[in-house]
């Protein structure tokens, strides 16, 4: 339970810092604003949270609060950036009490395949892209993807030929997939195509990591394009994450609208010819 008290005119109020399992530190901030309309005035109390990772590790942070109506909200940023998590609107706010529960899920990997990453002697399968192929181990593919596991267990054509053609995918994206399956690393670029592979082959932890990284990079300028991409390829997790970011104010709906209007005006401007 985090309790924040004080007069709204005194500016933001910060809770003490809480350390979770020695992995990260989180802190709550309340910030009250007053808006007036003629003789009526209303007050809103905004709540923000920030996390700072204390150790390098693979873990997920989830936030719940009955007062704010939040349940298992994934927190994307762990770099000490303040994130808006909710607000309470009342006419007279001078004392606020909210409940906050933070859950840390440590991702446990069944085993590391890093020792096999550079091995060429035992590779027995290939993923073929449009411009090249990547050597893999059947055992690694079967252990990390339920889709590939079913295929490798059956009498599929790809199983007997020792390769699968991944249409519309570059060798670079396939290499990114291998890097994650063997080394648990996620690139900074090419995330959309890697997300498609993760969703198709049901590598759920990679799908989540790609979505998280895309949300960190989300801006008003790319929100519409990314949402269209998510809807086109039926990636529900990405759609919901984008809507969540817009809903909580992490990305301004007004700025998104302005970007869309500018984009719609561009063809008219390009086609405009000044009279002689």
pLDDT tens digits, residue range 139-169? Answer: 999 999 999 999 998 888 877 889 999 999 9
- Which range in 53-62, 88-97, 180-189, 245-254 is most confidently predicted, on average pLDDT? 180-189
Query: For helices 220-232 and 253-270, what crossing angle results, to 10°?
Result: 90
- Which range in 56-65, 81-90, 172-181 is most confidently predicted, on average pLDDT? 172-181
**Helix, strand, or coil here: 43?**
strand
- Residues 6 or more apart from 236 whose CB is under 8 A from it? 230
pLDDT value of position 92: 55
pLDDT value of position 93: 54
Confidence check: pLDDT of 273 > 70:
no
pLDDT value of position 99: 81
CATH number of 114-189: 3.30.710.10
Sequence ranges of the domains in the chain:
2-106, 114-189, 218-268
186 versus 53: the higher-pLDDT residue is 186
pLDDT value of position 10: 55
The answer to whether 117 and 183 have CB atoms below 8 angstroms apart is yes
Can you spell out the DSSP letters for 161-216? Answer: HTEEE-TT--HHHHHHHHHHHHH----SS-HHHHHHHHHHTT-HHHHHHHHHHHHH
Phi, psi of 5 (to 5 degrees): -130, 165
pLDDT bin (cut points 50, 70, 90) of residue 274 is: very low
Query: Largest Cα–Cα distance in the chain?
Result: 80
| Residues in a beta bridge with 62 | 74, 103
Report which of 208, 169, 206 is spatially closest to residue 184, judged by C-alpha positions. 206
128 versus 102: the higher-pLDDT residue is 128
Confidence check: pLDDT of 200 > 90:
yes
Quickly tell me which residue has 């929100």 as its tokens.
223
- Least confident stretch, 31-35, 103-107, 251-255: 31-35
Please give the order of strands across the beta sheet that includes 163-165: 133-136, 125-128, 163-165
What gap in Å lies between CA 274 and CA 276, rounded to an integer?
6
Per-residue pLDDT, averaged over 270-276, amounts to 42
Per-residue pLDDT, averaged over 41-57, amounts to 73
pLDDT value of position 29: 83
- Residues 6 or more apart from 15 whose CB is under 8 A from it? 2, 4, 27, 28, 29
Q: How many CA atoms lie within 13 A of 10 on its CB side?
A: 11
pLDDT bin (cut points 50, 70, 90) of residue 39 is: low
Query: pTM of the prediction?
Result: 0.65
Confidence check: pLDDT of 3 > 80:
no
The answer to whether 51 and 77 have CB atoms below 8 angstroms apart is yes
């Amino acid at each position: 339970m985090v309790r924040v008290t004080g007069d709204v005119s005194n500016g933001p109020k910060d809770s003490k810092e809480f350390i979770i399992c020695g992995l990260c530190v989180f802190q709550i901030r309340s910030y009250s604003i007053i808006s007036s309309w003629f003789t009526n005035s209303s007050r809103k109390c905004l709540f923000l949270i920030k996390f700072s990772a204390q150790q390098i590790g693979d873990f997920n942070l989830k936030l719940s609060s009955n007062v704010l109506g939040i349940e298992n909200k994934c927190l994307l940023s762990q770099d000490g950036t303040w994130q808006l998590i909710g607000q309470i609107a009342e006419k007279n706010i001078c004392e606020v009490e909210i409940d906050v529960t933070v859950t840390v899920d440590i991702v446990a990997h069944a085993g590391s395949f890093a020792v096999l990453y550079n091995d060429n002697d035992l590779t027995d399968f290939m993923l073929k892209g449009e411009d090249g192929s990547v050597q893999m181990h059947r055992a690694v593919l079967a252990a990390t993807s339920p889709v590939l596991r079913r295929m490798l267990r059956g009498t599929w054509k790809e199983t007997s030929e020792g390769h699968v053609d991944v249409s519309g995918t570059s060798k670079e994206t396939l290499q990114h997939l291998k890097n994650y399956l063997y080394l648990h690393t996620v690139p900074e670029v090419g995330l959309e195509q890697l997300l498609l592979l993760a969703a198709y082959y049901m590598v759920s932890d990679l799908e989540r990591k790609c979505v998280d990284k895309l949300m960190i990079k989300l801006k008003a300028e790319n929100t519409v394009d990314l949402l269209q991409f998510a809807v086109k390829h039926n990636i529900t997790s990405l759609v919901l994450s984008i809507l969540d970011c817009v809903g909580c104010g992490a990305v301004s709906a007004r700025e998104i609208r302005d970007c869309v209007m500018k984009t719609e005006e561009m063809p008219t401007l390009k086609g405009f010819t000044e009279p002689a």
